[in-house]
Amino acid sequence: MLKYFYFKIDFINILLILLSTLTPKVMNTSDLTIPDYYVVQKTDGSGKEQIVKYYQKVEGEREGVETMYFGYYGINSYHEVVSQKKNIRELTQEERKLFSEKKYWRLPQDFYHSFPK
């Protein structure tokens, strides 16, 4: 377990070094509020969704470089997520209510740590 922990930290440090080569730009009002919770949808056509806390936005300086949002989710441990804005949506009013009531199990939880149905 300790070996996995150090590997994860090394991976995150390498990722941050790579990201430092991109120049972040100031967010405009049409961007997501960072940090905050959103729902991301898988791009494989399965329709699976997951509530995610996004903590960073990276926008490339060069043309053709997609804006990427970095976040994490998890119940017993954390899983990293990197996604484009087109795959992210805001929580609905009902989901916001459930979140404020700490009823996390009722929010979209379809990714890797999902409980069996």
Residue 3 resides in a domain: no
Task: In whole angstroms, give the CA distance from residue 114 to residue 74.
Answer: 9
- Residues 55 and 37: their CA atoms lie apart, in Å, by 9
Residue 101 inside a domain? The answer is yes
Q: Distance of CA 35 to CAs 5, 10, 45, 91, 117, Å?
A: 24, 23, 27, 14, 31
Looking at the 3D structure of the chain, how many domains does it have? 1
DSSP annotation string for 80-107: EEEE-GGGEEPPPHHHHHHHHTT-GGGS
CATH number at residue 64: 2.30.30
Which residue shows structure tokens 């790579």? Answer: 18
Query: Residue 115 domain-assigned?
Result: no
Q: Domain containing 79: what range?
A: 24-106
Question: Is 4 part of a structural domain of the chain?
Answer: no
State the average pLDDT over residues 56-60: 88
Please, which residues bridge with residue 51 across strands? Answer: 39
pTM value? Answer: 0.68
Q: Answer whether residue 38 is part of any domain.
A: yes
Q: Report if residue 113 sits inside a domain.
A: no
Q: Which of 3-7, 9-13, 16-20, 110-114 has the highest mean pLDDT?
A: 110-114
Residue 73 CB neighbours (<10 A): 20
Q: pLDDT value at position 26? A: 40
Specify if 16 maps to a domain: no
- For the record, the structure tokens of 71 come out as 């976040």
**Is residue 18 assigned to a domain?**
no
Q: Decide which of 43 and 2 is more confident.
A: 43
